[in-house]
Structure 1
């Protein structure tokens, strides 16, 4: 299943490995929505999907609420403005148009027409990705319609990870796919700092100790291994296409950190501080 958006770190390719670590539950909670590849590849009864980027969440909400209207508006942009001048006019409109319906359609248009599908804002919140010079950008109508159907199970909120994780209900499963340590984090004006990596890991460990299955993806770096040292770490090598020139191949090593409450002979091993870190390597 392809996703609606081009997106750095899209989890479609690694889903066969990731799904092995996602347990059953009444709801999957994702504080970092991204491309929604995980939602589309899983079958939870309900989803809480959040992101700090209001344009991303607005697009998903517009598709959920009125898929036919969204397709009509987005098709008009794809059919009318498939030139460099059209792109920059549309980008300017996006940066000044507050109408949520057209802003959602423009967000998809910019994603599919902009340079290598990058999502980037400057410190003033201005979307500034240059033209991608594609001859015939793909319009993902099938993916939009499929997403709209699945989205009826989902609640979309524009919120940071701490606010989102504060809304956990009993037995919720948590999956976190934050901006990776050492990689581009300009998807939103707030960015994602090393301090955020520390705070996120601390919150996830606390939520796990409360009984929630927690799964997180990140770079395989010394910092991430240290922050998630009480988690079970699974190492994978994932292909990369975003930001890679045609004809090139690129891959990166990632960590899937899994922390589940472990009870043995009446003792909670996580609460006792036992080291449950083992590493497995698979190739995506």
Structure 2
């Protein structure tokens, strides 16, 4: 089966794991994603309605502007993909401009530009909220026109919300299905949790996510949660109805030839 790729690059993207994830998602009318990321699960899951959430307003506003603007907005985004804009000097000029912009189509289009022109497709902000990903130095950044068109068409069945995972869980009703792809736990017990929590998702939040899945289960809501397959993760999700385990190939450096197999799990509460 051929799966639809998202238009965004995204750290920890689930494209390679789609067959395994979709296999474990039950039928239902509505899929809720509290950590929507690139939207790759949304693009390939068979539901009538979707509630797609994230705490990053730039991501959600881009999805909303694409849903509303369709082809016109896609054409506008394409204007930023030019040789003139693919220089280090211009990249940093646009980044400075972006950080002074309010929400709107220009900011959304630039967010897509940075996703394809910035280093490794990263999405990162400083403590003041300024986007600070460096220039990526790509010869010809790909403009994902076809992928944007597919997303815009499918987005007509989706509602995009900028909200916390708690709020997303609170809005779930009997028969809904929730898929969670949170920031992952460290792969080893020796990983520095102080550095980890600077990324905005602490151990306590990981544990809360497991608790919310248990509570949702009691309401008749099925939840599936992806994470690294570690001792800590297995403990957090020990009350899950089932747990699937599998390997996934991950990049472990900017060297595309340097890859390793990571162990992942999918905890299912149903």
Q: TM-score, normalised by structure 2?
A: 0.91
Match of 2:227 in 1: 218
d(CA) in 2 for partners of 1:65 and 1:14? 30
1:167-209 deviation line (CA, Å, top 9, x unaligned):
11221001111000127999x9871111110111111111012
Q: What is the CA distance between 1:242 and its match in structure 2?
A: 7.6
User: Are 1:233 and 2:243 matched, yes or no?
Assistant: yes
Is 2:218 the counterpart of 1:209?
Answer: yes
Contact 1:7 1:242 in 2 (8 A): no
1:149 to 150, 153, 163: 153
Give the distance between the partners of 1:9 and 1:249, measured in 2 at CA. Answer: 14
Residues 1-284 of structure 1 aligned to structure 2 (within 5 Å): 1-79=4-82, 80-182=84-186, 191-231=200-240, 232-241=242-251, 243-260=253-270
Q: Is the 8 A contact 1:59 1:104 kept in 2?
A: yes
Which runs of no fewer than 5 residues in structure 2 stay unpaired? 188-192
Paired residues of 1:239 and 1:251 also in contact (CA < 8 A) = yes
Q: Look up the SS of the partner of 1:135 in the other structure.
A: coil
* Separation in structure 2 between the aligned mates of residue 156 and residue 66 of structure 1, nearest angstrom: 14
1:72 Cα deviation (Å)?
2.2
Shift of 1:99: 4.1
CA distance in 1, matches of 2:32, 2:227: 17
SS in 2 for 1:175: strand
Structure 2 SS opposite 1:78: coil
Shift of 1:73: 2.2
3-state SS of 2:81 partner: helix
Alpha-carbon distance between aligned partners in 1 of 2:80 and 2:158, rounded to the nearest angstrom: 27
The aligned residue for residue 279 of structure 1 is none
- Residues of 1 paired with 2:225 and 2:92: CA distance? 37
After superposition, the Cα gap between the structure-2 partners of 1:147 and 1:108, relative to the gap in structure 1 and judged at 3 Å, is same
C-alpha displacement of 1:70 = 2.0
- What is the rounded CA distance, in whole Å, between the counterparts of 1:110 and 1:190 in structure 2? 19
Deviation at 1:239, TM superposition (A): 1.5
> How many angstroms does 1:247 deviate by?
2.1
Instruction: Identify which range, 138-147 or 235-244, moves more after superposition.
Output: 235-244
Deviation at 1:134, TM superposition (A): 0.3
Determine helix, strand or coil for the equivalent of 1:19.
helix
Question: Are the counterparts in 1 of residues 5 and 147 from structure 2 also a CA contact under 8 Å?
Answer: yes
SS at match of 1:174: strand
Which aligned runs of 4 or more in structure 1 are off by greater than 4 angstroms?
183-186
Task: Name the TM-score, length of structure 1 as normaliser.
Answer: 0.87
Q: Which residue of the partner structure matches residue 267 of structure 1?
A: none
